[in-house]
Every structure is written in C-alpha cells, then in structure tokens.
C-alpha cells in the first residue's frame, strides 16, 4: 500500500508542505494515543474554563490544542496558527511560510461516551507582508487553501486529506506508525438517500430548510418519491466522513434563535476544510447563498451555515434559497 509521502509527491505537493503535513500528523498521532487512553489517563471530563465560543472546554480540547500548538510552533514552517480554542491568532516562526487553522478536537461532547471525534485542519500560504501576530492574513477565502483534511479517531485512526488533486483516505498503521493510502480518490455519489441534520432544532430553521427536510421525511409518499434514512454523529468529522465514504447530505443551517450567529460551525477550521475535501470528491459545499469556499471571512471565529455532500441533493436543497 502506498504511503502518505509518495501520494503527496505524486500530487505535486512542495517539499516544505509535505514536511509541514508530516509535522502536523505527528501531533495527531499523539492526540490519537491520548484519546485512546481515555479514563485510564484521566483525560476525560471538563475543565473549569470557557473558550472564546462560550463553550466549556473539555480536558481533551485543551490537551489536543496544546499538542498541536507546541509541535507546529517549534517546526519552523508555520508563521501563525488560529484555533477554535485560542481567542486570537498565535504567532509562531517569523520566517514560516504557512498559516494553519485547526479544530483540535471536533465533537468533544463525544469524548464522554467513547464515540467519534477528530481533528480538522486547513493550511494556506502566509503572505510575505504579514506580521506573525496579524489576524488579517487569516481572512482569506477558502479557495486559497493549499491543503486541508481531518484525522478521525475512530475504531481505526483515519486521515482524509486533499492538496487540490483529489481527496484521499489513509489509515494509520499503528504497527509502524505511518498513514497508508487505503481509499485513493474517493468520489461522493451524486445522488443519495441519506441525510444528516440535528432535527431537535427544527422549529428554529428558516423556510428553505423546513421545506427541504419535510420533503425528505415524507419519503416515498412525498414529492421525492423515495424513502430517506437519517444519521447524526454529533461530530462533523464523523458525519462528513460518512458522506465521503458513501454519500449523503450534511446540514448545520442558520438558526433563528441567534440572529448574530449565522449557523454553528466555524468557517476557518470546520466549514472550509470540509468543503475542500467534499468538492475534491465531487460533492458540493454551500451556505445556501453561495459556495462556502468563496466566503470572505471577517474574523477568525466566524460561523457559517453549512450544506454539504452529494451534488444533486445539495443542489435540490440550495435551490430553495433563491
């Protein structure tokens, strides 16, 4: 089986980017180990602190963030990082050529129940003019990403990654510690009969999502003339992984409860990297009013509505916003 390195070379990734990705994955392997120790290592449960998003941080949110931050800032490749768990941009190496944004632990409410969690990341070039502590360099649209992916800490530890030449899935071979290419060039089926949305928020959705989901629920008796199945992992990383493996549509729409907050998921380190992976696998990624990767960020923790997955299903949903 092909190793990660040779696939990256095959896809034309420059050497420094390959070295950065390997460094980042070294951090993820350590997170994978810590996560697997669970209660034995006392890493489960909450801390007493809140992050900038107003969420109570889990111990594993803090530990994963620290591991990534330490390894990336010592690597020399990274000028600055932005993270879900850091209020501001963290300056790293003044001569670093890359910016990394990450969600150190996605789905952290799943840590308590030994269920799916992961790390999501995106990488862009650091502009030459940029001072390492300047957040404005992170405010580039997703189209500027040079690589993005996630590591899923599931029954196997898997990596999904793209450098713009297709989306590939790798599996961590714990016997030698390397990621092996197990699913090259994944393609999301254009049609699907599986959807993913937290229906407990239904009363807060806008009309387009109301009408779309009610048609899916009507099944073969409704206008779609087929039955749909529903899945919700409560970790975007798990839900998007399923979409990459067998298709589907995943939504976290705008929520009328909080008009200041256009959706729950964060653009830089959740929506954009997943959009890049899904588009490279032949799917679509929309906010309802446009392509996720075209959104010009206004701040590093900006949130966006997310509608991603199988092409024809995303098109059907998004058409209702016009």
Cβ proximity to Mn ion: between 108 and 280 the closer is 108
| Span between the terminal Cα atoms of the chain, in Å | 46
Burial of 39 (0-12, 13-18, 19+ CB in 10 A): exposed
Helix axes 59-75 and 15-37, enclosed angle (nearest 10): 150
Q: How far is the CB of 19 from Mn ion (least distance, A)?
A: 26
Cβ proximity to ligand AHG: between 247 and 253 the closer is 253
| From 21-29, 103-111, 214-222, 288-296, span contacting Mn ion (CB under 5 A) | 103-111
Q: How far is the CB of 35 from ligand AHG (least distance, A)?
A: 13
Using rule CB under 5 A, residue 84 touches Mn ion: yes
CA distance 257 to 146: 35
Pairing mode of beta strands 98-106, 78-83: parallel
Pairing mode of beta strands 90-91, 98-106: unpaired
* Contact of 292 with 275, CB cutoff 8 Å: yes
Instruction: Report the residue closest to ligand AHG, judged by CB.
Output: 236
Structure letter (DSSP) for residue 270: I
| From 53-61, 88-96, 161-169, 223-231, span contacting Mn ion (CB under 5 A) | 53-61
Q: How far is the CB of 228 from ligand AHG (least distance, A)?
A: 19
Contacts to ligand AHG by CB under 6 A: 55, 84, 103, 106-108, 198, 234-236, 252, 264
- Name the binding residues for substrate: 106-109, 198, 264
- Name the binding residues for Mg(2+): 84, 103, 105-106, 270
Structure tokens at 142: 């997703």
Applying CB under 5 A, among 103, 255, 279, 313 the residue interacting with Mn ion is: 103
Residues 6+ apart with CB under 8 A from 132: 79, 80, 91, 92, 93, 94, 96
Residues 6+ apart with CB under 8 A from 256: 204, 205, 206
Using rule CB under 5 A, residue 239 touches Mn ion: no
72 binds, among ligand AHG, Mn ion, none (CB under 5 to 8 A by kind): none
Q: Which residues of this chain interact with Mn ion, rule CB under 5 A?
A: 55, 84, 103, 105-106
């Amino acid at each position: 089986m092909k190793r990660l390195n040779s696939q990256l070379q095959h896809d034309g990734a420059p050497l420094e980017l390959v070295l950065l990705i390997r460094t980042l994955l070294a951090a993820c392997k350590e997170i994978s180990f810590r996560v697997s120790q669970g209660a034995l290592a006392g890493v489960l449960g909450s801390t007493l602190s809140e992050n900038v998003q107003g969420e109570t941080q889990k111990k594993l949110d803090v530990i994963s963030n620290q591991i990534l931050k330490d390894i990336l800032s010592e690597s020399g490749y990274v000028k600055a990082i932005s993270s879900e768990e850091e209020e501001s941009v963290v300056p790293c190496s003044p001569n670093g050529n890359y910016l990394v944004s990450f969600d150190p632990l996605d789905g952290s409410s799943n840590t308590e129940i030994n269920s799916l969690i992961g790390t999501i990341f995106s990488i862009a070039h650091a502009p030459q003019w940029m001072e390492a502590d300047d957040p404005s360099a992170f405010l580039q649209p997703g189209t500027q990403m040079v690589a993005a992916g996630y590591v899923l800490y599931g029954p196997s530890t898997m990596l999904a990654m793209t450098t713009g030449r297709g989306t590939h899935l790798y599996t961590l071979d714990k016997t030698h510690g390397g990621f092996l290419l197990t699913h090259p060039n994944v393609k999301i089926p254009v049609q699907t009969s599986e959807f993913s949305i937290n229906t407990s928020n239904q009363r807060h959705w806008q009309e387009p999502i109301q009408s779309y989901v009610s048609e899916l629920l009507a099944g073969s008796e409704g206008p779609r003339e087929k039955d749909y199945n529903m899945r919700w992992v409560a970790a975007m990383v798990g839900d998007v992984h399923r979409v990459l493996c067998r298709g589907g549509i995943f939504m976290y729409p705008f929520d009328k409860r909080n008009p200041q907050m256009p959706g729950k998921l964060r653009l830089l380190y959740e929506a954009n990297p997943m959009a890049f992976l899904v588009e490279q696998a032949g799917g679509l990624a929309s906010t309802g009013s446009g392509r996720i990767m075209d959104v010009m960020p206004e701040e590093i923790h900006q949130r966006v509505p997310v509608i991603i997955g199988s092409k024809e299903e995303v098109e059907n949903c998004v058409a209702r916003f016009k």
